[in-house]
Amino acid sequence: MSHNGAKSEDPKSHTKINVFFFWSVHDILRSPLLPLLKMFLYLDMVKMSFWICFYLFRFVAICVFYGLSFYSAELTGNVYVNVFLICLVEIPGYITSYFMLNW
């Protein structure tokens, strides 16, 4: 009992046990799993590079396609041959889109 009549509590009863372990940079660099971590980071970079190149290729292909389509009226020569050539350019796009949409 304390001097004011209240029951005194043991200060050790309120201590919390820290169950979380915080990693430091030193622990990560010392870990035997570091090669696996590097491999996963490398694979993520490869995946990201692949998708960036994939979308850049699509963008360039679309720009070339629209450039050829819009400029076909300006080409010299027979108009019918020019339209036929532009139709030939569209055929791979139609075939590719058919398979990609069904995939």
Between 87 and 27, the more confident residue is 87
Its domain, for residue 45, covers 33-102
Coil, helix or strand at residue 4: coil
pTM for this entry: 0.42
Mean pLDDT, all residues of the chain: 75
2 inside domain: no
- State the total domains in the chain: 1
Distance of CA 65 to the CA centre of its chain: 26
15 inside domain: no
Percent of the chain residues topping a pLDDT of 70: 64
Q: What is the pLDDT of residues 42-90, one digit of tens each?
A: 777 788 888 888 889 889 888 888 887 788 778 888 888 888 888 888 8
